Amino acid sequence: MLSTAQNSPNDRLNYRLLGLRERIDGAARAAGRNPGEVTLLAVSKGQPAARVRAAAALGLRDFGENYVTEALPKMAQLTDLGLYWHFIGRIQANKTRAIASQFDWVHGVDRVQLAQRLSTQRGHFVAPLNICLQVNVLGEASKGGVPPEALPALIEAVRELPRLRLRGLMCILPYEASPAEQATGFGHLRQLLQEARARGVAMDTLSMGMSADLESAVAHGATVVRIGTALFGSRDASIAAPAVE
């Protein structure tokens, strides 16, 4: 536990980060993996720029945002840090231009039309936009994502787009998923990636796992785990999610 003298917000952030690093390292080693293969993507939605700056000072470089209108001003305040910004929210067609021009990664593409817009709107003076395709591995009606059986066609369409770089697959499991459901969902996503690679598709990323299920995700091959509240604590009440994106 932190002492009273070590109870500043930045001390608590460092304490939580060390705990997360231990969890990720332990899960990787238990699975016979190199912990360095797993990137901690800090989900900074609802956090002010100062908190992101503090996290960057602790060595984090990758940050995820869900809402374009919240993210852009924050990103503008932090351009001096050379961070990598990941868009991890539901993509709306009227926001693709901002996403394509300002972010480095997009997790959650599940339609060819969205991918086409992102490719067209990505500038030619920057590197291609890194893309992860979202798969609805458990068939949840409330979740976005392409059905597994439709994934090969989406892969082929996206890999042909000139301003995108197809990096891998992502999924989101229910918060209350049981260990068996976690193993099924994460295992299925890994299998889909392996099948695509066997067909000659060069993908290297499995974006899966959050605070509650990161150990299972890492055990099943996650290369990116998306961590928010377990890292930053509660969100800043003054930074409300946009009513309409």
Whether 173 contacts 192, CB under 8 Å:
no
Helix (H, G, I), strand (E, B) or coil at 64: strand
Separation between Cα atoms, residue 37 and residue 68, nearest integer Å: 29
**Token pair in block for residue 92:** 């709306």
For the cut 50, the answer to whether the pLDDT of residue 233 exceeds it is yes
Average pLDDT, the chain: 93
Residue 220's pLDDT band, with cuts at 50, 70 and 90, is very high
Residue 59's pLDDT band, with cuts at 50, 70 and 90, is very high
For the cut 80, the answer to whether the pLDDT of residue 244 exceeds it is no
Quote the pLDDT of residue 241.
60
Q: What average pLDDT score do residues 99-126 get?
A: 96
* Model pLDDT for residues 4-53, shown as the tens digit of each residue: 445 787 899 999 999 999 999 999 999 999 999 999 999 999 999 999 99
In Å, the largest CA–CA distance within the chain is: 57
For the cut 90, the answer to whether the pLDDT of residue 123 exceeds it is yes
Structural domain spans, the chain: 32-232
Buried b (16+ CB within 10 A) or exposed e, 193-219: beebeeeebebebbbbbbbebbbbbbb
Whether 134 contacts 107, CB under 8 Å:
yes
Q: Which residues pair with 43 in a beta bridge?
A: 64
Tell me, yes or no, if the pTM score tops 0.85: yes
The H or E element containing residue 198 is helix 179-198
Task: Give the domain 32-232 fold.
Answer: TIM Barrel (3.20.20)
Q: How many CA atoms lie within 13 A of 203 on its CB side?
A: 31
Distance, C-alpha 49 to centroid of its chain: 19
Quote the pLDDT of residue 115.
97
Quote the pLDDT of residue 9.
77
* Model pLDDT for residues 153-197, shown as the tens digit of each residue: 999 999 999 999 999 999 999 888 999 999 999 999 999 999 999
Q: How many CA atoms lie within 13 A of 227 on its CB side?
A: 31
